[in-house]
Structure 1
């Protein structure tokens, strides 16, 4: 029986797949982290959110623009000597700054900062999902391969049984029905092999997509690999009590809620006045040579106060919109937490119950093997009919197949448990925090 303990050790949770003692699985996860396209998209979203945050931060500081111009004008008179030509050259600097008295811009920056952090947690959540998907598909692949191995062994056994009944029929020791029943059982098992091979190809193709590769690049390696994941008889799941707080999807939802809360305050700031300072310094001259030496200097400055008076209730409705979005973000956060608790509880129950099922199946297989051996032995000496042999042989194949599926399910539920705890991102999330 596998002993499962829950203690406090986040280090084991960070690299939980290493407890399976399967080098192939570890290599597949490493490749997936480097090449997976969904993960690269998540990285690109981090860059986008970071750039948006920088744009919002830049709005807190003055803006300065340089300008220059050249104009040409010609006036024609009634006489040639009355014709005049004028050139005007100018250069200068414009500066403006909106004082963030009521914090609207600061709240905008706060929102973009929270969205940037949410994108980082989204990246980490993608890592958790990616690792678990690679592991799940790998375990399912191994389970199908093991089931094929069992089916082929049983096919060989059924072929021997078929030959035995055929030999006895030719010797006049049994009926033709025994031969047809043996053939039916043999071909029925053979018919299961194509669907299992198809499932194997599908799993290889799925793993290839997760790794960002084409199926033929990993197909041969996975088919030749004979390593089998192992679970220690005593598994110590040392999980801190508050581990769910660090689940990436929960942290992402929390940051999205924080961002939307800041958006509400930003919208409220729209009710208050805006104070803008602006100024310019410029020089003008009639020629390029005198632009620097004897230019006319022009200095201007303005102080502008703008107060919203009538916006057809636009500002108020914008506050209502942002408040409604805040409520949605809060509900999403609460739903994410509840879903996390559900996933943990479901995985714990399924993992524990599947172990009990596996133990019962092991005993059933052992008894079925003995029953088949005894039935075959009695049939060979004529002490029982062939239907008994056929029935025990079918039961043995069915139980062996169920046992192999149960062994795979134990791994699957354990992987889902690690995923429910949000493990795995700590080993690979190296994005900049600032």
Structure 2
């Protein structure tokens, strides 16, 4: 008897250990050497920290990022979706586990016309029901695999939101500081032009300057004044944008006023060699790329679920209960009743629905293979573009620094020559306007250096 039982149990155990359908294998679109060559990555690489923005050395920025990651509605939405994915996993992973339900009822009937059969019927029922669909072909395990991948994809999307939020706060903060630096430059130039206007007015009263020079000086002052309101508006707009990112009302974040310490006032010193020293795995480990791969894993597991539905299903149900005329009769052995029902169901004819479901699942998987490939290509493109952008912006910044230095010297010389009457005022005005332009361009470039570095760290996954 024991031998027969073993002959029955062993095959069932072996069947229950198998899972039909394809096991996941990561698709390879190119080899490591091709990727290294394309991105120009060196062997000596360093891990990227999630606190990469702290390298800028700005405590206000550090606080803003931390507060945004704690309080932003976008982060909370992503966290809520992660919880939802976890609950879905917990629900679906137990679908093929045994279930037990308790039940109870009371029945009362009164029929006076049939007194000879007993005009009253009254009894209680109570017990337990159990059922279990045995996961012989692995459909349940494939379902758990699918929902586990979806949960991991939700976690990757959550990390992607954290990365995007960090980059967006840093980028908006740099835009604010850039605007404040340009506002400072404009105010300084306005003061300079007002001083020049005073000089021209003095010359005009002395008969040493004509109406054209006076009007040109007044024009320069008013033109610079006209720039300032727009700069102040943009400054306030960036402050409001930061407040919204932090989940606050506009104009409710302190510490954003123009101060003597402005990171955009100087060019950030960044080691350009480090652009090629990030881990090559950063391409595959970006949160959005990992999410795309986990979606592919889920769709691959769905094929196994569809295949398992084509095979026979085996289930067992059982019941244990008691029945009696009085409530106290429940639980007594003489009133006990039990039973069990093994069952098997074999799909025979479904008009091709099961076969087409397998084909559909395979087609969906194929789509997600290409989506994963797109995610990898986009990641590689963004990384390469960001590396080039940082390098080129530093080249531009170096040229602008030299240009601004030269124009300051030219303006200083032109002011002396004008006071001595050696040049026309229009020459001085033209030099001053060119200096203002190059100074604003230099401030914008210094801000762009930060922005390009932020884009680089975001492109390589920001340590997530």
Same fold (TM over 0.5): yes
Contact 2:130 2:319 in 1 (8 A): yes
Q: Does 1:17 align with 2:19?
A: no
Deviates more, 1:235-244 or 1:327-336: 235-244
Q: Which of residues 180, 205, 210 is equivalent to 2:240?
A: 205
Is 1:60 aligned to 2:96, yes or no?
yes
Q: Which residue in the other structure is 1:147 paired with?
A: 182
Question: Is structure 2 residue 336 aligned with structure 1 residue 302?
Answer: no
Q: 1:182 to 1:51 in 2, by over 3 A?
A: same
1:322, CA displacement in angstroms? 2.2
Q: Give CA deviations for 1:311-361 in whole Å, capped at 9, x if unaligned.
A: 233223322332232122211111111111111111111111111111111
1:309 and 1:54 map into 2 onto residues whose CA distance is 32
The answer to whether the 8 A contact 2:312-2:344 is kept is yes
- Closer/same/farther in 2, CA of residues 225 and 156 from structure 1, 3 Å limit: closer
- Kindly tell me: are residues 21 and 78 of structure 1, through their superposed partners in 2, closer, same or farther at Cα, counting changes over 3 Å? closer
User: Equivalents in 2 of 1:181, 1:224: separation in Å?
Assistant: 31
1:224–1:166 Cα change, 3 Å: closer
> TM-score, normalization: structure 2?
0.86
Say whether residues 1:232 and 2:266 are aligned partners.
no
Question: 1:78/1:17 Cα in 2 relative to 1: closer, same or farther (>3 Å)?
Answer: closer
Q: Any residues of structure 2 matched to 1:83-102 within 5 Å, and which?
A: 84-102=119-137
The alignment yields a C-alpha RMSD, in angstroms, of 1.9
Q: Within 5 Å, give how 1:405-416 maps onto structure 2.
A: 405-416=444-455
Distance change >3 Å, CA 191–CA 424, structure 1 → 2: farther
For residues 121-270 of structure 1, the aligned pairs below 5 Å read 121-218=156-253, 220-229=254-263, 231-232=268-269, 234=271, 237=274, 238-270=277-309
SS in 1 for 2:439: helix
Cα distance between partner residues in 2 of 1:216 and 1:179: 41
Question: Is contact 1:355–1:410 with CA below 8 Å preserved after alignment?
Answer: yes
Is 2:60–2:255's contact at 8 Å kept on the other side of the alignment?
no
Aligned residue number for residue 429 of structure 2: 390
Q: Which residue of 2 aligns with 1:378?
A: 417
Matched, 1:47 2:86: no
Could you tell me whether the CA contact under 8 Å between 1:127 and 1:424 is conserved in 2?
no
Specify whether residues 177 and 224 from structure 1 end up closer, same or farther in structure 2 by C-alpha distance, changes over 3 A only: closer
Displacement, 1:13? 3.1
Matched, 1:344 2:380: no
Greater mean deviation of Cα atoms: 397-406 or 317-326: 317-326
Deviation of residue 305 (structure 1)?
1.2
Secondary structure in structure 2 of the residue aligned to 1:271: coil
1:254, 1:233 → 2: CA distance?
A: 33
Change (3 A) 1:266 1:233: closer
Q: State how far apart, in whole Å, the 1-side matches of 2:95 and 2:117 are.
A: 52
CA contact (8 A) 1:379 1:386 kept: yes
1:285–1:295 CA contact under 8 A, matched in 2:
no
Report if aligned partners of 2:268, 2:449 keep a CA contact under 8 Å in 1.
no
Structure 2 residues not aligned, in runs of 5+: 1-40
Cα separation, 1, equivalents of 2:305 and 2:207:
95
Distance 2:118 2:344 in 1: 47
Do 2:52 and 2:462's aligned partners in 1 also have CA atoms closer than 8 Å?
yes
Q: Deviations over 1:136-164 (max 9, x none)?
A: 01111100000000010001111111222
1:428 match: none
Is the partner of 1:281 in helix, strand or coil?
strand
More off after superposition, 220-229 vs 52-61: 220-229
Q: Quote the residue 1:119 is aligned against.
A: 154
- How far off is 1:203 after superposition? 1.0
Inter-CA distance 82–107: structure 2 relative to 1 (3 Å threshold): closer
Task: Give, in whole Å, the separation in 2 of the partners of 1:272 and 1:327.
Answer: 24
SS at match of 2:255: helix
In 2: Cα distance, 1:290 partner to 1:376 partner: 112
Q: Identify which range, 190-199 or 389-398, moves more after superposition.
A: 190-199
Q: Which structure 1 segments of 5+ residues have no match?
A: 426-434
Q: How many residues align?
A: 418
Cα separation, 2, equivalents of 1:226 and 1:342: 38
Partner Cα distance (1:233, 1:84) in 2:
97
Flag the 1:239–1:131 CA change in 2: closer, same or farther, 3 A. same
Return the alpha-carbon distance in structure 2 between the equivalents of residues 24 and 102 of structure 1.
Answer: 57
CA contact (8 A) 1:285 1:294 kept: no
Contact 2:272–2:391 at 8 Å: present in 1 too?
no
